[in-house]
Amino acid sequence: MSALASEKDEFDPNTVTPGVWGFVVTFVIMVVVLLLILDMVRRIRRTNYRAQVRAELEAEAAAEAAAADEAAFGGADGQATDASGELPGEGDGPERG
């Protein structure tokens, strides 16, 4: 029992601290983590901007292709016609007046 009592007396909580080196190492780790987070945010932002620009370019290309198709087909209004240019069912039967 006396051995345990003598060990407790030798323990000084002021000498068992991380000290200056512990603070320096913790601070360096904190700075490295902060820099990694900033780099990650920058890379994510850049990726989002690239995706946004790619979507805008694809939309412009689709609009140009639609305009080219409209010009090539003479501005068709989307109605189906046969070879004579009549709408289906227009000249098929007797006219009603």
pLDDT at 3 (0 to 100): 56
Q: Name residues of the chain where pLDDT drops below 70.
A: 1-9, 11, 74-97
Separation CA 5–CA 1 (nearest Å): 6
**How far out from the chain centre does Cα 36 lie?**
19
DSSP for 64-80 reads HHHHHHHHHTTS--S--
Quick: pLDDT tens for 62-83: 999 988 888 888 655 555 555 6
Tokens of 86: 């009549």
**Distances in Å between the alpha carbon of 12 and those of 7, 16, 38, 42?**
10, 7, 41, 47
